[in-house]
Amino acid sequence: MTQEFGSEAHRRLLQRQIDEIRDIDDSRVIEVVVKICSPRNDTMLLSTVAEALRRRGMSSSSRDLLPIERAQLARRGSTKSHQRALKEHDTSLAAQAATAGRAGAAARASSQSNIDGWMARDSVKESIAAVTSLPSRQKPKPVAPRTFWTSSSAVMQVVRDDLEKLTHTPEIEGIYLNQRLHVPPVVMPKAVPTAVEENKVSAWGLRTMGALATWGAFGARGKGVLIGLLDTGVDAQHPDLAGKIEDWAEFDANGNFVPGSKPHDSDKHGTHCAGTIVGGDASGRWIGVAPEAKIAAGLVLNGSQGGTHAQILAGMDWAISRGVDVISMSLGGLLMTPEVPSTYTEAMLTALRAGIPVVTAIGNEGSQTTGAPGNDFLAFSVGATDHLNRAAGFSGGRTQIIRTSAYFPQEALPLVYSKPEISAPGVAIYSSVPGGGWEYLNGTSMATPHVAGAIALLLSSTKIKKSVPADKRAFVIQDLLTGSAEELGESGQNHRFGFGRIDILRSMGYARDLNY
């Protein structure tokens, strides 16, 4: 059995979370994110995840992670019978996709119903009313509660002394401070190596990871793929990005949609990441891994103010509902624990059900550190390398141990896993910045969009979107990328490179050979 809600152990966990909230925030009124229990029918999916984590830990080579051949048929389906079987398989999957769409709508309705049911409880209503009844000098500007269906959670203001009252309801899975996360620290290199500047055709990362060769060998440039970019926003008028921002949304600190907002960048971080994903050659060099892909940009970090958990969860709601093919999040905060807020775990689980990989930066605080949500076991996290295939000194990574979990059965615990999964170019990365310019920047934030762009290339010229069931799609994508990585450092997975530096050309070759 997974951790039993309402048990003494669970009550102690909730009390520990409340004590942590009070240690961090001594305000009279505190804004919290409450995770509501949701019925889980993902036993098979979670078992697959647990087994995958163990398999990664025991693998001596990244090649051990490559997925099985599509439909378990002979390589390339060379015989007529194999070709016929593949066609029948794909027809069956088309029918499954329609069923999955209906199941997804039902899952969303069920999640929202659970949240609404909890919000309707008298104790919850009383906690919300207690804030409004305070004298005006003792309370901040009142904000209405906001719910998030993908993470089965709600953000609300609560009087400090009423925190325990919320946990008296049996539906509570966890309670977290609506903490503010800052824009990840990135820096301009003091000196750009000559070998980097000599890349006159493209940014060095594109050549190193095989993007240019993939365009030529497979005609893959990301066409038909939509990437959800949750960041500081984007300068949609930049010459490298014009016409490539297909959708836009901005969210406030409480996770509410900001009406009337137009695409803009509250910093330069988001525009730089967008350029690495879909940028063109307006500077005279190609800067984007997948220049024919499109972006759905969500502003969830407000420049120097950063963003809250609620903003990021709202952005994930929006991106998943929008039907993106991959989510790219170069954001996070340092935690010295594997206990990522379970709201992120639930939202990522929702994404994986829909076939959407969630690509995250592992953090810029150096070896043996990881940032959340990149250290979540469901995140596809990315470390950074330089042009000499060395791990960047700032790039994070370490071993995580899950001892208690609401997701895995007790017999599967403790569960040990390592971060990151993969690495990508992240030092002296040349890309777009607001106002029509370009800059070199360092950071795992710069490595993450290389991986998101690689996924766009993979999806644009393979059968993965149409031939792999949604609940297996993200895992096939991740296995193709990790299984084909350029192995660096220790044998197998390690804290500095994951399974190695991404090589999209090799990934495409394996996808072809394995009938994807």
pTM over 0.95: no
Check pLDDT > 90 for residue 358: yes
For residue 337, what pLDDT band results from cuts at 50, 70 and 90?
low
Which residues are marked as active site? 231, 269, 445
pLDDT in tens, 263-301: 999 999 999 999 999 999 999 999 999 999 999 999 999
Report whether the peptide linkage leading into residue 414 is cis, meaning its omega lies within 30 degrees of zero: yes
Spell out the residues 6+ positions from residue 178 whose beta carbon is closer than 8 angstroms to its own.
31, 32, 33, 155, 253, 254, 308, 309, 310
Check pLDDT > 70 for residue 84: no
Q: Kindly give the residue spans of alpha helices, DSSP state H, lying in 203-333.
A: 204-208, 211-218, 269-278, 309-322
pLDDT in tens, 454-509: 999 999 999 999 999 998 999 999 999 999 999 999 888 999 999 999 999 999 99
Contact between 451 and 380 under an 8 Å Cβ cutoff? The reply is: yes
For residue 72, what pLDDT band results from cuts at 50, 70 and 90?
low
* Tokens representing residue 487 in the block: 């192995």
Domain range annotation of the chain: 8-40+107-181, 194-513
For residue 98, what pLDDT band results from cuts at 50, 70 and 90?
very low
pLDDT (average), residues 127-154: 88
The CATH class given to the 194-513 domain equals: alpha beta
d(CA 483, CA 489): 15
